[in-house]
Amino acid sequence: MLMLGYCSFITLIILLMIGMAQFGALVKFWPYNLSLTLKHYQFEVAGLGWESFYNSVRLAFYTAIFGTIVIFIGSYIVEKLRFNEKLQGIVQFFALMPMAVPGLVLGLAYIFYFNSKDNPLNFIYATMAILVINTIVHFYTVSHLTGVTVLKQMDKEFEAVSLSLKVPIHKMFWRVTLPVCMPTIFDISIYLFVNAMTTVSGVIFLYTYHTTLASVSSIHLDEQGDVAGAAAMAMLIVYVSVLVRIIHAVITKGILRRTQAWRHGSANIDQAVTHV
């Protein structure tokens, strides 16, 4: 009960902050005119339309899909495929490096690298693709460590046994590794989605007129003196993140019931052994 009281107190503080932002987005002119209105959600008046919000949702969706695939496969290569240990250490080093690189530095580095006309990858500059790549790299480390941790829990001999039975590695990965690690994969995807919705530092130098994001627009609205409009845009980010989290929980519950049935079987066996 003591811990419940402590956690409830922290939760109350968080809800008060979010609730204050929502209240500020609904009043006509804070703090002088507190009558309610929805005019602050008319972002077109400020020149930062709903397109920014839709761009953020697209960015978060692409980051969650492609980021999860890239990161989990990278974790699998580092942890499960046995190759040169020095090379493996180098790969692990680069996987951990984004944790030490501030988002602003990452954004500036992308400008200097991709904006060069001599760069064959220059065509992705000023597109949604560069925002997605930047966001994946920005949040790579935590997701990578999460993937490596769950892979460490699996027996290291699975791959050796599959090869001895003449089962290809890719089939072993698809039929065994992927279903076992499915809860972690879903956790990585929702982590990337929510962080992509709220990211600012990594993308603030890379967006264009056609790829403006909600998080960046919120900052610009505040700079223009439209604090209520900034709060309204920020609350849209909160609501879509909560909505996607709920949808994510509903969808994954059914999928995990199928892929994680073996866990329930193991638990029943353990209970029976304990009872005996």
Which residues have a Cβ under 8 Å from the Cβ of 234 and sit 6 or more positions away? 21, 25, 214, 215, 218
Q: Are 94 and 141 in contact (CB under 8 A)?
A: no
For residues 202 and 149, give the distance between their C-alpha atoms in angstroms, rounded to a whole number. Answer: 26
Residue 265 above 70 pLDDT? no
Any domain includes 256: yes
Q: Are the C-beta atoms of residues 42 and 28 closer than 8 Å to each other?
A: no
DSSP line for 120-172: TTGGGTTSHHHHHHHHHHHTHHHHHHHHHHHHHTS-TTHHHHHHHTT--HHHH
9 falls within a domain: no
Say if 14 falls within a structural domain: no
Residue 111 lies in a domain: yes
pLDDT tens across 112-128, in order? Answer: 888 888 888 888 888 89
Tokens for 67? 């980021």
SS3 of residue 117 by DSSP: coil
Give the count of beta carbons closer than 10 Å to the beta carbon of residue 36. 8
| Domain presence at residue 235 | yes
CA 103 to chain centre: 15
43 part of a folded domain: no
CA nearest to 186, candidates 264, 253, 140, 92: 253
Instruction: Give the count of domains, the chain.
Output: 1
Domain of 231 in residue numbering reads as 49-262
- Within a domain: residue 4? no
Instruction: Write out pLDDT tens, residues 155-169.
Output: 777 777 777 777 777
pLDDT on residue 274 = 47
What pLDDT is attached to residue 182? 87
Contact predicate 13/21, CB 8 Å: no
Check if the beta carbon of residue 263 is closer than 8 Å to that of residue 189. Answer: no
Instruction: Output the domain CATH number for residue 216.
Output: 1.10.3720.10
**Tokens representing residue 122 in the block:** 């220059």
What residue type is assigned to position 234 of the chain? A
Q: CB 157: neighbour CB atoms within 10 A? A: 9
Whole-structure pTM value: 0.83
Residue 58: inside a domain: yes
- Residue 216 banded pLDDT, cuts 50, 70, 90: confident
Q: What is the pLDDT of residues 30-43, one digit of tens each?
A: 778 888 888 878 77
Count other Cβ atoms within 10 Å, centred on residue 142. Answer: 15
pLDDT digits (tens, 9 = 90+) for 119-152: 888 888 888 999 999 999 999 999 999 998 888 8
- Looking at every residue in the chain, the average pLDDT score rounds to 84
* Cβ atoms of residues 205 and 110 within 8 Å: yes
The rounded distance, in Å, linking the Cα atoms of 220 and 216 is 6
